[in-house]
């Protein structure tokens, strides 16, 4: 299958004018920016909202929902697999979704995400590695990079572009139910191993066909919540009760390094910071993350996390988008994605979400897709399939287990 290219005289002419006399590195950056800006100029409100919407594939009523709603992203949550869970059938499934996305007016490809958090753990036959708590026990950055590189190859072999990893939390209470997702309670070790994981996933160059997009999570303070403040009185989705200075010293360091390393995406956290939900906190998501730290990728919400913001669902959408969420992971359960799209558009039309905020979000999403090469290579590279569960990768897993 051949990718559907966006063919407009405007895009071609602008790229030629702006990058003709630049260096190779400048050419790539300028080409991407000009391409995306020209594409953004052509987009309708519906197409922009679609790019900011991520839906679990199991909640599609029909594959044509992808083109009908101009969806920008799909994911596979827990148990959201092909009917027969085999690597080649994952690739078939991915390509069918991508083919549908390319039927849209502008032919913008999907970006597909999955929780490949200790290997490609949703796929039968893939290599399984220790969770982060085990990798953290090794203290071995080179090993963590090798694990992530192997995982990236196996994920890419099934067509998928993006893992919701690494988790660079700093767990401070072992009663927290997600402690095993953290490398360590030591911010320095988390920073070192988080950097290694990102380099492994993204292969130092997002345009490498063997790479996948990384996602540093959960911004910010997920491992620092106070016991008794979360759901059912436990720690999950609880409240971080620290000064800003303490939050920065303990929980921000790993994100600074992740951004410097070039992480493509960052996931916001379910928790609150001194009573304010992170998903609605403009200071943390925009002023700190994007402006102060200079993060150029896009911010994705966690699963149905905007629903936890006080207020009705429409106000949740308005608050979270204005706070700095660029793409919303819509669960499809209590709040189905057609309702999300409808309320989002209402908010835009009434002026509750400014077009400048939407354009910023969509530009970030499209730039990541362009940098990753999705417009040029939207379909699965089937030559990578032999890497899934390979002896080489199982040997790396064995080493990781032995050292953990």
Our CA dihedral for 125, 80, 171, 254, rounded to 10 degrees, sits at 80
Clarify whether residues 57 and 110 are in a common domain: yes
β-bridge partners, 55: 74, 330
Rounded to an integer, what distance in angstroms lies between the CA atom of residue 172 and that of residue 2? 49
Clarify whether residues 6 and 132 are in a common domain: no
Domain interval for residue 322: 45-403
Question: What pLDDT score was predicted for residue 333?
Answer: 67
Clarify whether residues 10 and 115 are in a common domain: no
Question: What pLDDT score was predicted for residue 22?
Answer: 56
Q: What is the chain's pLDDT, residue by residue, as a tens digit (404 residues)?
A: 444 444 444 444 444 544 455 567 678 888 999 999 999 999 999 999 999 999 999 999 999 999 999 999 999 998 899 999 999 999 999 999 999 999 999 999 999 999 999 999 999 999 999 999 999 999 999 999 999 999 999 999 999 999 999 999 999 999 998 999 999 999 999 999 999 999 999 998 788 889 999 999 999 999 999 999 987 667 679 999 999 999 999 999 999 999 999 999 999 999 999 999 999 999 999 999 999 999 999 999 999 999 999 999 999 999 999 999 999 999 776 679 999 999 999 999 999 999 999 999 999 999 999 999 999 999 999 999 999 999 999 999 999 999 99
Clarify whether residues 29 and 101 are in a common domain: no
Rounded to an integer, what distance in angstroms lies between the CA atom of residue 21 and that of residue 5? 25
Q: Which residue has the tokens 């999300």?
A: 340
Clarify whether residues 36 and 142 are in a common domain: no
If one counts the domains in the chain, the total is 2
* CA neighbor of 317 nearest in space, from 341, 349, 283: 341
Clarify whether residues 202 and 64 are in a common domain: yes
Clarify whether residues 197 and 325 are in a common domain: yes
Rounded to an integer, what distance in angstroms lies between the CA atom of residue 312 and that of residue 320? 12
pTM exceeds 0.85 for this model: yes
Clarify whether residues 312 and 257 are in a common domain: yes
Clarify whether residues 18 and 59 are in a common domain: no
Question: What pLDDT score was predicted for residue 210?
Answer: 92
Clarify whether residues 6 and 133 are in a common domain: no
Clarify whether residues 26 and 147 are in a common domain: no
CATH number, domain with residue 284: 3.20.20.300
Clarify whether residues 95 and 4 are in a common domain: no
* CA neighbor of 127 nearest in space, from 145, 108, 147: 147
Rounded to an integer, what distance in angstroms lies between the CA atom of residue 133 and that of residue 190? 10
The tokens describing 213, both together, are: 């997009």
> What phi and psi values does residue 331 have, to the nearest 5 degrees?
-65, -40
């Amino acid at each position: 299958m051949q990718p559907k290219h966006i063919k407009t005289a405007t895009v071609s002419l602008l790229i030629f004018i702006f990058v003709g006399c630049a260096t190779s590195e400048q050419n790539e950056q300028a080409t991407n920016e000009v391409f995306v800006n020209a594409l953004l100029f052509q987009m309708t409100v519906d197409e922009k909202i679609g790019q900011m919407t991520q839906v679990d594939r199991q909640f599609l009523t029909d594959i044509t929902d992808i083109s009908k709603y101009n969806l920008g992203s799909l994911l596979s949550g827990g148990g959201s697999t092909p009917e027969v869970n085999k690597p080649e059938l994952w690739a078939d499934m991915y390509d069918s979704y991508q083919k549908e996305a390319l039927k849209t007016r502008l032919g913008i490809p999907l970006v597909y995400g999955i929780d490949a958090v200790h290997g490609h753990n949703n796929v039968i036959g893939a290599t399984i590695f220790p969770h982060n708590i085990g990798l953290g026990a090794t203290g071995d950055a080179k090993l963590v990079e090798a694990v992530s590189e192997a995982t990236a190859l196996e994920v890419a072999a099934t067509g998928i572009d993006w893992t919701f990893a690494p988790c660079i939390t700093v767990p401070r209470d072992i009663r927290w139910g997600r402690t095993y997702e953290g490398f360590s309670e030591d911010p320095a070790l988390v920073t070192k191993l988080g950097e290694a994981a990102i380099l492994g996933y993204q292969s130092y160059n997002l345009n490498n066909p063997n790479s996948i997009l990384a996602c540093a999570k959960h911004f910010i303070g997920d491992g620092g919540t106070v016991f008794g403040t979360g759901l059912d009185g436990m720690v999950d989705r609880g409240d971080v009760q620290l000064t800003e200075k303490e939050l920065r010293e303990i929980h921000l360091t790993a994100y600074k390094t992740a951004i410097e390393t070039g992480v493509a995406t960052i996931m916001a956290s379910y928790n609150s910071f001194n009573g304010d939900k992170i998903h609605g906190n403009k200071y943390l998501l925009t002023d700190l993350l994007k402006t102060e730290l200079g993060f150029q990728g896009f911010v994705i919400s966690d699963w149905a996390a905007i629903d936890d913001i006080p207020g009705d669902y429409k106000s949740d959408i308005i608050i979270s988008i204005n706070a700095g969420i660029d793409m919303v992971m819509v669960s499809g359960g209590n709040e189905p994605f057609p309702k999300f799209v409808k309320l989002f558009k209402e908010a835009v039309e009434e002026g509750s979400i400014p077009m400048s905020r939407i354009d910023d979000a969509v530009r970030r999403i499209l730039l990541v897709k362009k940098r990753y090469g999705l417009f040029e290579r939207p379909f699965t590279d089937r030559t990578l399939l032999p890497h899934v569960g390979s002896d080489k990768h199982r040997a790396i897993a064995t080493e990781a287990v032995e050292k953990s």
